[in-house]
């Protein structure tokens, strides 16, 4: 499902193209991506086995005690019964969803993905505690198959460290214990893990104790504690992916709006042609005048299409920043104007037959002029139609090139 973005940005892009064509469209997109992509709503699902510490993590994120008002419900027995939404305290457009644990009677592992609508989320944090279960791996596989990003959290590390202390006695070494857990996680995840940095060994309880101790000493070292218990790196890694999702969603929205507007604009310009051509036909009553009028008219329309569609001048800064395909198209299209001598127009028109349009030109003309008009009117129609098609093709190439560069 597409992340939600305010419709205002679609409308802005549509209006921009209707007004300016593709002129400086790169700058317009850049500005939107830089200043407005953060308004796209993105969602992270906190998923995994029941009792693994998902709700506790949410409370740590919200900087709330488990018992505080508005905190996620935490408990030694199955606690979260439906999907609960929480806002990131630093960015209201990032939502964390506390999901019910997987593998209970209410949420069996087999149907978990459908039951909690996992497809609606942008990223996933998969929680496990103590042991890896088959279900955890299945869940990761399912998420990967939907091309979504996930992070693995091995929670309650404080418990592991305490247990190791008991069992190892003198030989206890915390760093060794953590390294062993990390390597066990990598081994179990195998090909599901592109990179070991996606595993976070966290402890919300450890973090909270660390922070309390700091405060007792009168120090503010929340970030340092967050680093130690891996909450900070997890939040940052997840935010980086979400930021990219926001950028991607914004560019898709801008693409949709600008393409639709450009199509509309070309349609409107195309609709004008028969009227313009018919007037050129009227001038053909005095045949000597007709050729001169055609050339002027065509040159005038050429310039109008160029402005309306926002085709840049050759050698301008905007032109220099275009991709090679667009540059070549702009050069070719602009060359058409210089080639427009009366003879050139005739040759062009002859090469470009649009017989189906003849009736349109005829239908507009007053009955008495029909005999005198066809040659000039239809020729003008064909030429303008040809020019507009070339110009529109160039404008679309510019737009596609800019969008492509933003999708990288
Ligand atoms: N030692 C320790 N215990 C934790 C930690 N995080 C959570 N717990 C405990 O684990 C138990 C389950 O925590 P929850 O946060 O309710 O787990 P959950 O995954 O939300 O559970 P469900 O909603 O039932 O799926 C609670 O008793 C928590 O206090 C931690 O970092 N260390
Ligand atoms: Mg819970």
Residue 222 CA to ligand 2 center (angstroms) comes to 24
Q: Worst-scoring range by mean pLDDT, 192-196, 210-214, 243-247, 284-288?
A: 284-288
201, 174 Cβ separation under 8 angstroms:
no
Summarize the confidence of residues 196-225 as an average pLDDT.
89
Residue 56: its H or E element? helix 54-62
Please report how many Cα atoms fall inside a 13 Å half-sphere around the Cα of residue 316, on the Cβ side.
11
pLDDT recorded at residue 139: 83
pLDDT at 94: 95
Please, what is the average pLDDT of the chain? Answer: 84
Query: Ligand 1 atom 10: the closest Cα is on which residue?
Result: 53
The stretch 253-262 carries a mean pLDDT of: 98
| C-beta of residue 39 within 8 angstroms of C-beta of residue 5 | yes
Which pLDDT tens digit goes with each residue over 308-330? Answer: 999 999 989 999 999 999 999 99
Asked whether the predicted pLDDT for residue 358 surpasses 60, the reply is no
How far apart are the CA of 75 and the centre of ligand 2, in A? 7
Reduced to 3 states (helix: H, G, I; strand: E, B; else coil), residue 82 is coil
Query: By C-alpha distance, which of 42, 31, 39 is closest to 7?
Result: 39
For the cut 60, the answer to whether the pLDDT of residue 255 exceeds it is yes
Residue 3 has pLDDT above 90, yes or no: no
Contact 79 CB / ligand 1 (< 6 Å): yes
CA 57–ligand 1 middle distance (angstroms): 8
Assess contact for 254 and 36: CB atoms under 8 A.
no
> 127 by DSSP, 3-state: which?
strand
**pLDDT tens digits, 151-201:** 999 999 999 999 989 988 888 898 999 999 988 888 888 877 765 568 899
140 contacts 126 by C-beta, under 8 angstroms: yes
The ligand that comes nearest to the alpha carbon of residue 50 is 1
Question: Residue range 96-113: average pLDDT?
Answer: 83
Helix (H, G, I), strand (E, B) or coil at 332: helix
Higher pLDDT, 144 or 366: 144
d(CA 310, CA 326): 13
Q: Is the CB of 55 under 6 A from ligand 1?
A: yes
Q: Which of 17, 1, 15 minimizes the C-alpha distance to 399?
A: 17
The residue that leads in pLDDT, 339 or 289, is 339
pLDDT at site 366: 41
Residue closest by Cα to atom 21 of ligand 1:
51
Going across the sheet that includes 123-128, the strands are 84-88, 91-98, 42-48, 123-128, 149-154, 199-201
- DSSP, res 173: -
Which residue owns the Cα nearest ligand 1 atom 13? 53
Q: Is 103 in the pocket of ligand 1 (CB under 6 A)?
A: no
Q: Is 203 in the pocket of ligand 1 (CB under 6 A)?
A: yes
**Ligand 1 pocket, 50 CB below 6 A?**
yes
Nearest atom of ligand 1 to the alpha carbon of 75: 16
**Is 92's pLDDT higher than 80?**
yes
Is the per-residue pLDDT at 31 higher than 90? yes
| Bridge partners, 94 (sequence order) | 42
Tokens of 87: 């806002």
Q: Is 54 in the pocket of ligand 1 (CB under 6 A)?
A: yes
Of the two residues 269 and 273, the one the predictor is more confident about is 269
* Confidence band of 145 (pLDDT split at 50, 70, 90): confident
Name the closest ligand to CA 74. 1
Query: Is the CB of residue 78 below 6 angstroms from any atom belonging to ligand 1?
Result: yes
- Does 60 contact ligand 1 (Cβ within 6 A)? no
Q: Whose CA is nearest to atom 6 of ligand 1?
A: 53
384 contacts 303 by C-beta, under 8 angstroms:
no
158 lines ligand 1 (CB under 6 A): yes
pLDDT at 198: 80
Mean pLDDT (whole number) for 236-244? 94
């Amino acid at each position: 499902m597409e992340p939600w973005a305010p419709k205002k940005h679609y409308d802005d892009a549509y209006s921009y193209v209707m007004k300016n064509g593709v002129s400086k469209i790169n700058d317009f997109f850049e500005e939107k991506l830089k200043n407005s992509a953060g308004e796209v709503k993105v969602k992270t699902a906190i998923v995994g086995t029941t009792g693994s510490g998902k709700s506790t993590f949410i409370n740590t994120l919200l900087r709330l005690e488990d018992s505080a008002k508005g905190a996620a419900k935490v408990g030694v027995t199955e606690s979260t019964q439906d999907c609960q939404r929480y806002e990131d305290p630093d960015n209201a457009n990032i939502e964390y969803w506390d999901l019910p644990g997987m593998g209970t009677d209410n949420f069996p592992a087999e149907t978990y993905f459908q039951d909690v609508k996992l497809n609606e989320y942008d990223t996933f944090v998969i929680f496990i505690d103590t042991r890896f279960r088959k279900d955890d791996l299945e869940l990761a596989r399912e998420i990967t198959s939907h091309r979504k990003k996930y992070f693995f959290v091995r929670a309650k590390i404080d418990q592991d460290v305490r247990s190791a202390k008991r069992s190892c006695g003198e030989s206890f070494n915390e760093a060794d214990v953590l390294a062993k857990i990390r390597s066990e996680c990598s081994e179990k995840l195998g090909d599901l893990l592109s990179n070991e940095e996606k595993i976070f060994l966290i402890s919300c309880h450890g973090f909270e104790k660390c922070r309390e101790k700091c405060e007792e000493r009168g120090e503010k070292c929340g970030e340092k504690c967050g680093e130690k218990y891996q909450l900070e790196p997890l939040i940052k890694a997840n935010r980086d992916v979400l930021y990219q999702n926001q950028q991607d969603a914004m560019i898709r929205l801008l693409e949709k709006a600008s393409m639709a507007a450009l199509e509309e604009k070309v349609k409107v310009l195309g609709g004008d042609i028969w009227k313009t051509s018919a007037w050129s036909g009227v001038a053909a009553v005095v045949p000597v005048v007709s050729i001169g009028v055609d050339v002027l008219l065509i040159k005038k329309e050429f310039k109008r299409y160029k402005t309306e569609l926002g085709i840049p001048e050759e050698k301008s800064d905007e032109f220099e920043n275009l991709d090679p395909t667009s540059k070549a198209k702009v050069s070719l299209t602009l060359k058409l104007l210089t080639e427009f001598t009366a003879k050139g127009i005739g040759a062009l028109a002859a090469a470009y037959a649009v017989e189906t349009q003849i009736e349109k030109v005829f239908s507009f003309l007053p009955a008495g002029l029909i005999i005198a008009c066809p040659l000039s009117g239809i020729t003008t129609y064909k030429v303008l139609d040809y020019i507009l098609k070339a110009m529109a093709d160039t404008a679309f190439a510019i737009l596609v090139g800019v969008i492509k560069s933003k999708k990288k």
